[in-house]
């Protein structure tokens, strides 16, 4: 009986937090009405959540009639994690707050070796700790991550293999790490209004490589050995002799990454593929016919892979991000047309394909924050008073 009571209490606290996350600051009266919990239960649960520092009073509601003004409650603006979006050439970092706020801090060139990277990351974290009080560090990684062991199993575009992040940080922080597309899917599911009631969706990240985050039945799926979503390495050209760094040939990534488009164009300004692709996008927006034509072909290549994913997984939404976050509308129109014309009709009946809602900070960084918030809440709420 005791166990049931605790489980129910944790569930009720979680419901109140979900209401505050989804609909913004609320009074106790609104929380009671919307959750269906008795006002006395809400008062008791909120008191405990306030004692844990999870919820704070941010203001008093405006009331025209006389009477006691209700306190408006919100998740606390409490720093909980340093967050890193590890890119192949550039890494950005920020601070995640419990109420969902993300402060971008800075950006640096990604060192080549994991040892150099994590040494630098640790220095940055130690500096941030002098300003913000947090215990967690959350990494978005462009590769396969064993998030239980905090191990980067394979990040081919970085050339990193079997990197034990926990060991490189010497256990001084609570470390979280996950694949960037999984995290982007988490971020989009948490904040995009049109995904509120959606259970099945795929997030496609197109940068130097191509990765996807897969949400099935409301959960981001990671698989038996954390490689769910490696659709970048699905073969789309059976006779291709072009080799992929994964060891296979004819992978989708070879045709749908930004490298493909950049190489087609030739000379572009920029020190890395991301900057060069930005240049390509702006030239197309300014009316450069060759840039437009290459992007149209790129949209086709992206759409072919999405067609396969849609046929196999039947998501309601495909969200496209990474370097395509700022692609022009016609790019997405083209992707939509190709997928609708080539995929199974039943799989595209309710399908929507759109760019991510995130630009700055990136979906990867916001996802690293969401992951940390979830972990923090689970730990604090599950520790019963
Ligand atoms: Zn491959």
Q: What is the mean pLDDT of residues 168-195?
A: 93
Judge whether 94 and 101 are in contact, CB under 8 Å: no
pLDDT at 97: 97
Using the mean position of ligand 1's atoms as its centre, give its distance from the Cα of residue 120 in Å. Answer: 30
Using the mean position of ligand 1's atoms as its centre, give its distance from the Cα of residue 242 in Å. Answer: 10
Residues 214 and 166 in one domain: no
Residues 334 and 283 in one domain: yes
Using the mean position of ligand 1's atoms as its centre, give its distance from the Cα of residue 246 in Å. Answer: 4
Using the mean position of ligand 1's atoms as its centre, give its distance from the Cα of residue 86 in Å. Answer: 20
- Domain assignment present for 351: yes
Using the mean position of ligand 1's atoms as its centre, give its distance from the Cα of residue 247 in Å. Answer: 6
Using the mean position of ligand 1's atoms as its centre, give its distance from the Cα of residue 362 in Å. Answer: 25
Whether residue 362 has pLDDT greater than 70: yes
57, 75, 93 - which closes a domain: 75
pLDDT band at 65 (very low <50, low <70, confident <90, very high): low
Judge whether 310 and 318 are in contact, CB under 8 Å: yes
Using the mean position of ligand 1's atoms as its centre, give its distance from the Cα of residue 212 in Å. Answer: 14
Whether residue 385 has pLDDT greater than 60: no
Using the mean position of ligand 1's atoms as its centre, give its distance from the Cα of residue 260 in Å. Answer: 14
246 vs 92, higher pLDDT: 92
pLDDT band at 2 (very low <50, low <70, confident <90, very high): low
- Domain assignment present for 370: yes
Question: Looking at residue 23, which CATH number applies to its domain?
Answer: 1.10.10.10
Cα separation, 334 vs 17, in Å, equals 40
Using the mean position of ligand 1's atoms as its centre, give its distance from the Cα of residue 157 in Å. Answer: 11
Burial 130-147 (b: 16+ CB within 10 A, else e): eebebebbbbbbbbbbbb
3 vs 365, higher pLDDT: 365
Cα separation, 215 vs 198, in Å, equals 9
Using the mean position of ligand 1's atoms as its centre, give its distance from the Cα of residue 123 in Å. Answer: 34
Using the mean position of ligand 1's atoms as its centre, give its distance from the Cα of residue 162 in Å. Answer: 18
Residues 348 and 370 in one domain: no
Using the mean position of ligand 1's atoms as its centre, give its distance from the Cα of residue 296 in Å. Answer: 23
Residues 62 and 123 in one domain: no
- Domain assignment present for 188: no
Using the mean position of ligand 1's atoms as its centre, give its distance from the Cα of residue 250 in Å. Answer: 7
Residues 92 and 38 in one domain: no
- Domain assignment present for 251: yes
Using the mean position of ligand 1's atoms as its centre, give its distance from the Cα of residue 336 in Å. Answer: 24
Cα separation, 332 vs 300, in Å, equals 10
Average pLDDT for the chain: 93
Residues 99 and 207 in one domain: no
How far is the CA of 270 from the CAs of 9, 89, 292, 360, 375, in angstroms?
54, 12, 19, 20, 38
Residues 68 and 136 in one domain: no
Q: What is the mean pLDDT of residues 214-225?
A: 94
Per-chain residues with Cβ under 5 A from ion ligand 1:
233, 244, 246, 248, 251
pLDDT at 60: 73
Residues 204 and 286 in one domain: yes
Q: What is the mean pLDDT of residues 230-235?
A: 95
Residues 202 and 282 in one domain: yes
> What digits encode the pLDDT tens for the residues 256-296?
999 999 999 999 999 899 999 999 999 999 999 999 999 99
Rama region for 144: left / alpha / beta (φ>0; ψ in -120 to 50; rest)? beta
Q: What is the mean pLDDT of residues 365-377?
A: 96
Using the mean position of ligand 1's atoms as its centre, give its distance from the Cα of residue 134 in Å. Answer: 38
Residues 213 and 330 in one domain: yes
Residues 326 and 224 in one domain: yes
Burial 255-289 (b: 16+ CB within 10 A, else e): bbbbbbbbeebeebeeebbbbbbbbbbebbeeeee
- Domain assignment present for 316: yes
Residues 67 and 121 in one domain: no
Q: Provide the 8-state DSSP code for 202.
A: E
Cα separation, 64 vs 44, in Å, equals 27
Whether residue 383 has pLDDT greater than 80: no
Using the mean position of ligand 1's atoms as its centre, give its distance from the Cα of residue 209 in Å. Answer: 9
Order of strands across the sheet with 317-322? 219-220, 210-216, 201-206, 317-322, 352-355
Q: Is 116 exposed, middle or buried (0-12, 13-18, 19+ CB in 10 A)?
A: exposed
Cα separation, 132 vs 142, in Å, equals 27
> What digits encode the pLDDT tens for the residues 98-135?
999 999 889 999 999 999 999 999 999 999 999 999 99
pLDDT at 105: 86
75, 100, 121 - which closes a domain: 75
pLDDT at 58: 86
Domain holding 158, by residue range, is 79-183+363-382
Q: What percent of the chain has pLDDT over 90?
A: 83
């Amino acid at each position: 009986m005791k166990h049931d009571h605790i489980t129910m209490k944790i569930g009720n606290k979680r419901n109140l937090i979900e209401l505050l996350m989804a609909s913004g600051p609320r009074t106790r009266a609104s929380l009671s009405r919307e959750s269906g919990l008795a006002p006395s239960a809400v008062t008791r649960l909120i008191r405990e959540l306030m004692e844990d520092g999870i919820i704070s009073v941010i203001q008093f509601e405006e009331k025209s009639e006389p009477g006691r003004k209700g306190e408006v409650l919100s998740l606390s603006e409490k720093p909980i994690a340093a967050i890193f979006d590890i890119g192949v050439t550039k890494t950005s970092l920020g601070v995640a707050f419990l109420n969902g706020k993300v402060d971008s801090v800075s950006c640096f060139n990604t060192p080549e070796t994991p040892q150099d990277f994590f040494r630098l990351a640790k220095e940055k974290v130690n500096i941030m700790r002098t300003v913000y009080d947090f215990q967690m560090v959350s990494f978005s990684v462009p590769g396969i991550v064993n998030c239980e062991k905090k191990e980067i199993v394979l990040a081919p575009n970085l050339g990193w293999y079997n990197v034990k992040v926990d060991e490189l940080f010497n256990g001084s922080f609570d470390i979280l790490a996950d694949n960037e597309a999984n995290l982007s899917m988490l971020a989009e599911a948490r904040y995009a209004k049109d995904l509120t009631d959606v259970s099945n969706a795929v997030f496609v990240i197109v940068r130097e490589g191509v990765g996807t985050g897969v949400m099935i039945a409301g959960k981001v799926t990671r698989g038996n050995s954390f490689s769910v979503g490696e659709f970048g390495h699905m073969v789309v050209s059976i006779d291709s002799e072009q080799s992929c760094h994964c060891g296979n040939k004819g992978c989708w990534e070879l045709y749908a990454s930004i490298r493909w488009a950049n190489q087609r164009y030739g000379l572009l300004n920029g020190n890395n593929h991301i900057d060069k692709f930005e240049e390509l996008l702006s030239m197309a927006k300014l009316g450069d016919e060759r840039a437009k034509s290459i992007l149209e072909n790129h949209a086709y290549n992206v759409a072919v892979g999405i067609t396969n994913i849609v046929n196999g997984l039947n998501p309601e939404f495909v969200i496209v991000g990474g370097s395509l976050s700022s692609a022009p509308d016609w790019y997405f129109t083209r992707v939509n047309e190709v997928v609708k014309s080539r995929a199974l009709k039943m799989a595209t009946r309710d399908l929507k394909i759109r760019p991510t809602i995130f630009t700055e900070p990136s979906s990867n960084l916001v996802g690293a924050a969401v992951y940390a918030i979830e972990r923090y809440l689970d730990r604090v709420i599950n520790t019963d008073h």
